[in-house]
């Protein structure tokens, strides 16, 4: 397994996003299927496992903790605070006392004495970023977490946070169809020596060519139903981009998912994608991207084919967009 660096850790070049084993994409898999998927990833050399207090309102941390506890020394365990479920609703709360309490709760669910990489899941704009990161720094001092991460923040916020305590990783969405990190965050990460962790690198199945009709294929509670790019009219236009994309994948002798991940891996050795999946076959396919090598001409062609100008619809609806701090085109 190829390795990349996050702060003090060497991790597999592809991590595993664990969210959809418990949260957000309709009915989760059975506990037995979820456990098998986690162990299969481990057996294949994946060492970075990414969860959060929010996912399944604690259920995902409980799952990950139970399954991976016997293998704790082999993995880098990442979780998140600052956004949790309270009385069935998602709540953003970055107050220092909440962050510290949430960490203690997560440690219990994860069945570990220390979380390797602990992210502020969302910046609570009612709380100065310096105060939230200060609480995370206190957790480092207390030995409860080893490194600090941020999620969905701008370059300016990253720099403010990094001035309080070194930030090991910044996590946000990055793929061919979501290029926002290219505005400023990637450059800021490189200036500061911060690893970039890319979630939804397969554009929530779009780049895996795994979703053709959101109206009929998505369950009622699937979060993609609230995302403008998946609205029927927008998605039909986006699907037209896949004809040439499929042709390129076939020409390369790889799957569409492998092409998307290979493009992202080629964008920098400091980028660690964390695709999520419930399918053992998809997991194996994703890991196969590590063997795909793209020439510069191919990368340029992909850049021109699928980007912020050719994709129809913003990535989030207006209400969700107000909650995040990322730069927008």
Give residue-wise pLDDT tens across range 263-302: 999 999 999 999 999 999 999 999 999 999 999 999 999 9
How far apart are the C-alpha atoms of 242 and 245, rounded to whole Å?
Answer: 5
- What is residue 27's DSSP assignment? S
pLDDT digits (tens, 9 = 90+) for 191-203: 999 999 999 999 9
Residues serving a catalytic function are 55
Where are the chain's structural domains? 3-205+267-292
Mean pLDDT on 12-25 = 96
pLDDT digits (tens, 9 = 90+) for 43-55: 999 999 999 999 9
Q: Is the pLDDT of residue 87 over 90?
A: no
Specify the DSSP element, H or E, that contains 64: helix 59-68
User: How many C-beta atoms surround the C-beta of residue 70 within 10 A?
Assistant: 10
Query: Residue 42's pLDDT band (boundaries 50, 70, 90)?
Result: very high
* pLDDT value at residue 324: 96
Q: Is the pLDDT of residue 77 over 90?
A: yes
* pLDDT value at residue 88: 82
- For the domain bounded by 3-205+267-292, which CATH number is listed? 3.20.20.100
Q: Greatest CA separation found in the chain? A: 54
């Amino acid at each position: 397994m190829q390795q990349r660096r996050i702060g003090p850790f060497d991790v597999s070049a592809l991590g595993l996003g664990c969210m959809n084993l418990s949260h957000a994409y309709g009915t989760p898999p059975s506990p037995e299927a979820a456990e098998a998927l986690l162990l299969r990833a481990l057996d294949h050399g994946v060492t970075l496992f990414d969860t959060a207090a929010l996912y399944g309102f604690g259920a995902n941390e409980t799952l990950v903790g139970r399954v991976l506890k016997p293998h704790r020394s082999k993995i880098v365990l990442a979780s998140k605070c600052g956004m949790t479920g309270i009385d069935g609703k998602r709540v953003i709360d970055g107050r220092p006392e909440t962050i510290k309490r949430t960490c203690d709760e997560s440690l219990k669910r994860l069945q570990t004495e220390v979380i390797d990489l602990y992210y502020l899941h969302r910046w609570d704009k009612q709380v100065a970023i310096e105060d939230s990161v200060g609480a995370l720094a206190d957790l480092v001092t207390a030995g409860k977490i080893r490194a600090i991460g941020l999620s969905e923040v701008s370059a300016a916020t990253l720099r403010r946070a990094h001035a309080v305590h070194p930030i090991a990783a910044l996590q946000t969405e990055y793929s061919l169809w979501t290029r926002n990190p290219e505005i400023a965050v990637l450059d800021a990460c490189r200036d500061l020596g911060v690893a970039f962790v890319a979630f939804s690198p397969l554009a929530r199945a779009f780049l895996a060519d795994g979703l053709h009709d959101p109206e009929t294929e998505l369950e009622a509670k699937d979060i993609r139903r609230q995302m403008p790019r998946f609205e029927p009219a927008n998605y039909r236009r986006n699907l037209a981009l896949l004809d040439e994309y499929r042709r390129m994948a076939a020409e390369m002798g790889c799957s569409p998912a492998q092409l998307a991940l290979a493009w992202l891996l080629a964008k920098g050795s400091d980028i660690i994608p964390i695709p999520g999946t419930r399918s053992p076959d998809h997991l194996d396919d994703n890991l196969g991207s590590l063997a795909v090598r793209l020439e510069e001409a191919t990368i340029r062609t992909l850049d021109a084919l699928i980007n912020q100008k050719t994709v129809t619809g913003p990535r989030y609806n207006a209400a969700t967009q107000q909650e995040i701090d990322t730069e927008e085109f």
